[in-house]
Amino acid sequence: MSWRSIVRGAGRVFALIGLLEFLSAQVRCPTTKEFSHIGMDRAFPSARFIPDTLWVPVVFHLIAQDSGGWLEERRIAAQVRALNRDFAAAGIQFYLPRYGPQGQPTCGVTRHLSPLAVHDWTFQEDTLKSLVCWPPDSFLNIWVVDEMVLSTIGYARVLGDSEGTPGVVLIKSVVGDKVGVQPPFDWGRTAVHEIGHVFSLYHPFEGGCVGMNAQTCAIEGDEICDTPPQSQPHYGCPPLTTNTCHEAPPDLFDPVDNFMGYVDDECMTRFTSLQIQRMREFLFQVGAVLISEENQQARGRNEPFLSGCAAVASLSYSLPSFHIRQAGHSIFMEAEESISLILLDAMGRMILKKEGNQFFLSNLPVGLYIAVVEVRGKPLFFRFFVI
Ligand SMILES: [Zn+2]
């Protein structure tokens, strides 16, 4: 079993273990027993018009040295919005839960004063996570510390890992979205990158120039065939024509704009289609409880925010009704209020952008489509096939 670095920033740190091990994983933080009946074998849905969004409750555990050092809640709200912006194309969305592990009211934020706020991950990971941890089968835990050793800005442990507690550790200076956050890691994308690891992704430079042809790209390196291998991490904002590995033709440029690289936040912009597919399949299997309807109900996803959570209340919304029908090569969509629609093809290319109440799309070529419907500034996703 190979051990893989999953740290962004300086150094290589924690292990991301192979997928087979996830299935028998134990966690050190107690699991939520009432959901243990939910199986791991739910099929990856491919039916038409299934609302595609996978909802993940995320809790922020703020660890500070003194009570004057708490991260502001508006930056947590901004971070969640940044996650939802960047995971939009993946059909994965995050929310702060209204109810904690015992059903207690929460804003999705906990606070703990501890010297562990200056965090040496080389030996303190378990100690930090034992300070506070919500069942990682039901919540995505993000611990936020003041500082980390060795210039590390974040690290992650994959969901289902048997070697430790899954989740993300970040330094507080990278949490948020531009306002109050220091460039160049100021778009909330350290969290995006680390959550990519939690959902089973590796770096595109994993293993260097390996997986160089169609026979090996799915089993070597990052095991993703639409992220061409790159020999090493890139930093800053490298040109999109950077090419460090020369694959079997076509020899493609390095994926320097990928969320799973080390470039500056403003220069990482996407997950690829196959990264998205891998994360979603992983969530349907290893994260089945996390994304389940039962978990959403228990966490109060659709309930109004509690009083005292004003800073995060902007994340609360309800959606107007929306209908989508297909007849042959035509699609009809109707909403009870004006919405914006973006239609993407299977490669993620935008082929249509419109606003209005009704949309009629005819003569669509055969293929897979993703409709991103933005309602009151919030995206919804629908996948459909024209056959
Ligand atoms: Zn990483």
Inform me whether the pLDDT recorded for 222 exceeds 60: yes
Inform me whether the pLDDT recorded for 22 exceeds 90: no
Inform me whether the pLDDT recorded for 231 exceeds 90: yes
pLDDT of residue 381: 62
| Confidence label for 376 from pLDDT (cuts 50, 70 and 90) | low
Average pLDDT score over the chain: 81
Q: The tokens of 349 are what?
A: 């290319």
Ligand 1 centre and the CA of 263: distance in Å? 11
Q: What is the gyration radius of the CA atoms in the chain, in angstroms?
A: 21
| Of 30 and 331, the one with more pLDDT | 331
| Of 340 and 40, the one with more pLDDT | 340
Q: How far apart are CA 38 and CA 15, in angstroms?
A: 27
Query: DSSP for 289-303?
Result: TTT-HHHHHHHTTTS
Ligand 1 centre and the CA of 73: distance in Å? 25
Ligand 1 centre and the CA of 262: distance in Å? 7
Q: How far apart are CA 35 and CA 263, in angstroms?
A: 39
Angle at the Cα of 29 from the Cα atoms of 102 and 2, rounded to 5 degrees: 145
Inform me whether the pLDDT recorded for 204 exceeds 70: yes
pLDDT of residue 326: 64
Ligand 1 centre and the CA of 9: distance in Å? 8
Burial 367-384 (b: 16+ CB within 10 A, else e): eebbbbbebeebbbbbbb
pLDDT of residue 32: 42
Which DSSP letter does residue 71 get? P
Q: What percent of the chain has pLDDT over 70?
A: 77
H/E stretch holding 92 reads strand 92-95
H helices present in the chain, as ranges:
19-22, 73-86, 121-131, 189-198, 273-285, 293-299
Ligand 1 centre and the CA of 340: distance in Å? 34
pLDDT of residue 323: 61
Domain 7-198: CATH class, spelled out: alpha beta
Average pLDDT over residues 34-48: 33
Inform me whether the pLDDT recorded for 130 exceeds 70: yes
Q: How far apart are CA 103 and CA 385, in angstroms?
A: 40
Inform me whether the pLDDT recorded for 321 exceeds 80: no
Are β-strands 367-375 and 378-386 bridged in parallel, bridged antiparallel, or unpaired? antiparallel
| Of 36 and 365, the one with more pLDDT | 365
Say if CB 237 and CB 263 are below 8 A apart.
Answer: yes
Inform me whether the pLDDT recorded for 30 exceeds 60: no
pLDDT of residue 379: 65
| Of 382 and 268, the one with more pLDDT | 268
Ligand 1 centre and the CA of 171: distance in Å? 14
In order of 20, 157, 162, 261, 272, the CA distances from 17 in angstroms are 8, 9, 9, 19, 22
Ligand 1 centre and the CA of 7: distance in Å? 4
Q: Which amino acid, 242?
A: T
Inform me whether the pLDDT recorded for 79 exceeds 90: yes
What architecture does CATH give domain 322-386? Answer: Sandwich (2.60)
Ligand 1 centre and the CA of 259: distance in Å? 9
Tell me the residues surrounding ligand 1 (ion) with CB < 5 Å. 6, 8
Tokens 């399949």 locate to: 281
Ligand 1 centre and the CA of 11: distance in Å? 10
Ligand 1 centre and the CA of 198: distance in Å? 10
Average pLDDT over residues 275-287: 95
Are β-strands 140-145 and 167-171 bridged in parallel, bridged antiparallel, or unpaired? parallel
Ligand 1 centre and the CA of 334: distance in Å? 41
Inform me whether the pLDDT recorded for 18 exceeds 50: no
pLDDT of residue 363: 80
Domain boundaries, the chain: 7-198, 322-386
Of 371, 273, 262, the closest CA to residue 322 belongs to 371
**Residues 6 or more apart in contact with residue 179 via CB below 8 angstroms:** 74, 75, 78
| Of 13 and 347, the one with more pLDDT | 347
Ligand 1 centre and the CA of 13: distance in Å? 9
Ligand 1 centre and the CA of 275: distance in Å? 14
| Of 5 and 303, the one with more pLDDT | 303
Backbone angles phi, psi at 20, to 5 degrees: -65, -35
Ligand 1 centre and the CA of 114: distance in Å? 26
- Predicted TM-score (pTM) above 0.75: no
Inform me whether the pLDDT recorded for 332 exceeds 80: no
Inform me whether the pLDDT recorded for 27 exceeds 80: no
Ligand 1 centre and the CA of 92: distance in Å? 19
> pLDDT tens digit string along 135-191?
999 999 999 999 999 999 999 999 999 899 999 999 999 999 999 998 999 999 999
